[in-house]
A and B are shown apart, each in its own frame.
Chain A
Amino acid sequence: DVKVTQSSRYLVKRTGEKVFLECVQDMDHENMFWYRQDPGLGLRLIYFSYDVKMKEKGDIPEGYSVSREKKERFSLILESASTNQTSMYLCASTNHGGASYEQYFGPGTRLTVT
């Protein structure tokens, strides 16, 4: 059973703080993704990674960076948090190849920036 875990369910940070969101998957998946979910906007891709130390920008990378030093772990970094980054952040993973490109999602981190 695939498991994607995120370090926090709820997080409150102040404007200007550096914020780290951690994601770990236990299925040896090559690909990992960070999305933000906002009401009425659906899920929007921030960054993704298809291998260790590799990263690609998604649709809304501004204000974010990522790190993937180990295969199972993908971190999202907000260098200087702003109130417009208050959102639900979802991590997902999927494997290379095969017939299945299903993405498996973590429970989400609800971040509030005050």
Chain B
Amino acid sequence: AQSVSQHNHHVILSEAASLELGCNYSYGGTVNLFWYVQYPGQHLQLLLKYFSGDPLVKGIKGFEAEFIKSKFSFNLRKPSVQWSDTAEYFCAVSLSGAGSYQLTFGKGTKLSVIP
């Protein structure tokens, strides 16, 4: 079964700092990759996703992620964070192919941005 590792449990940054959240997965086949965000008191929503093509994907609110197949990684980045980015971020993977709808999530990374 596939698994997802998120390296940091809690990250604290000042506004305008750059962000990189690590995500590694363990599966040798073709995968679909996702980053979800959960703002305080709100439901999970999709930040960005990768299925195929350009390994650098751009999402909402200035976030981007790069898929590096050789490293089994899908790290999330933002050049300059804002206080409103305070949230919990989840990396997730699904197997590519028909009938592969099940997502496996990482344990999440809490981001706290200090004004």
Contact = CB atoms under 8 A, between A and B. Distances in A.
Chain B contact residues (Cβ within 8 angstroms of A): what range? 20 to 34
Interface in B94-115: 94, 98-108
Nearest to A6: B43
B43 A106 contact: yes
Contact of A42 (B34, B99, B102, B107): B107
A40 B104 CA distance: 15
B56 interface: no
Interface string A82-94: 0000000010101
Contacts of A97: 98
Interface stretch (B45-53, B62-70, B76-84): B45-53
6 contacts: A43-B103, A43-B105, A45-B102, A45-B103, A50-B99, A92-B44
Contacts of A90: 43-44
A41 B106 CA distance: 8
A58 B43 contact: no
Given A101-B32, A102-B46, A105-B43, A40 B51 contact: no
Contact of A50 (B101, B103, B108): B101
Interface of B: 6, 9, 32, 34, 36, 42-46, 49, 51, 90, 92, 94, 98-108
A48 interface: yes
A3 to B, nearest CB: 11
Contact of A102 (B34, B99, B100): B34
Nearest to B51: A99
A107 interface: yes
A50 B102 CA distance: 10
A15 interface: no
A40 B107 contact: yes
Interface string A40-68: 11111100101000000010000000000
Nearest to B6: A42
A96 B92 CA distance: 18
B60 to A, nearest CB: 12
